[in-house]
Structure formats: structure tokens, C-alpha cells
Amino acid sequence: MKISTKGQYGLEALVALALISPDEPVSLKSIAGLCNISESYILQIFLVLRKAGIVSSVRGTKGGYALSREPSGITVKQVLEALEGPLTPVYCIVDGCEEPCSRYEICAARLMWEKVKKSIDDLTDSITLADLVKHFDAVNTGLNLDYSI
């Protein structure tokens, strides 16, 4: 399992959104500027996150994107699953897998893969966007970063 740049940048852009303004819409340009990621790539990411109910969009001159709920109510697992799909080391253990391996029932490694998946699920479900924002603030203390737009 490997998290793509879409997943990595999605988390980074959501942290930026929460830092700039967790309550008010923020332009893609502001988020792109803080993250140093292209505006068009962030748009692709936010369209997926909007469909997943993680962000909402507002049209108009004061429009942009806003978090759909408090940062403490958005988990890393929710974001990564929206952007990446199921977080699993092997697909035969994904709930609802349509084509399990022909060796599924006798697989010697299946129990280990299920434990790996459970560990990944538990960890990513225990970390919220608020935790990432708090960590960002802690590691950037003293840098005098300005999040205002």
C-alpha cells in the first residue's frame, strides 16, 4: 500500500484550509499558495473531498471552500479513503471484495494481512485534522507564519 501525492496533498491542503479559516470559505489560490501546490491539482482533490462531504464549496466573489465540519470531526482515514479508496495492503481482504483470491480460504498470510489492515484503520481513524493542525502549529512555532488572506 502506498499513499499517492493526491492523498498527501489532500491532507496538506485540508490543514491549510483549517489554518487559514476553519469557518469561512477560502479561495483555492490561498490554499495553493500556502501549500505550494498547483491550484488545478487542489481543485481536483477538493472536488473529490466535496463529493465525500469533507469540504463544501461556496460560489461568488467571497466564495471558495470550507470544511463541512469541525477539524476534530474529520479523520485521516476519511480523507485518505475518499482520495485513495480502501486503505489495505492487499485487496482480497477489503470488505465486499468481488474477486477474492482463489487461495483466500487457505491463505497462510491472510491473518497477518487482516491485522495489518486493522492497525492501519485504527491508526488513521484515531488521528483527526485537528491533530494535524496542532502538530503543524507545534513544529512551526517561531516561524512567524501568516495564515491570513
Asked, for residue 132, whether it belongs to a domain, the answer is: yes
Asked, for residue 78, whether it belongs to a domain, the answer is: yes
Query: Residue 75 sits in a domain of what CATH number?
Result: 1.10.10.10
* pLDDT over 60 at 144, yes or no: no
Give per-residue pLDDT as tens, 75-112: 999 999 999 998 988 877 777 666 667 777 788 888 89
Asked, for residue 31, whether it belongs to a domain, the answer is: yes
Question: How many domains does the chain contain in total?
Answer: 1
Asked, for residue 109, whether it belongs to a domain, the answer is: no
Predicted model pTM? 0.85
Instruction: State which residues form the domain around 23.
Output: 5-86+127-139
Contact 31, 17 (CB under 8 A): yes
* pLDDT over 60 at 133, yes or no: yes
Asked, for residue 45, whether it belongs to a domain, the answer is: yes
Alpha helices in 54-109 (DSSP H): 76-84
CA torsion 77-148-135-85 (nearest 10°) is 10
> Looking up cell 494481512, which residue turns up?
113
Give per-residue pLDDT as tens, 10-35: 999 999 999 988 788 999 999 999 99
pLDDT band at 149 (very low <50, low <70, confident <90, very high): very low
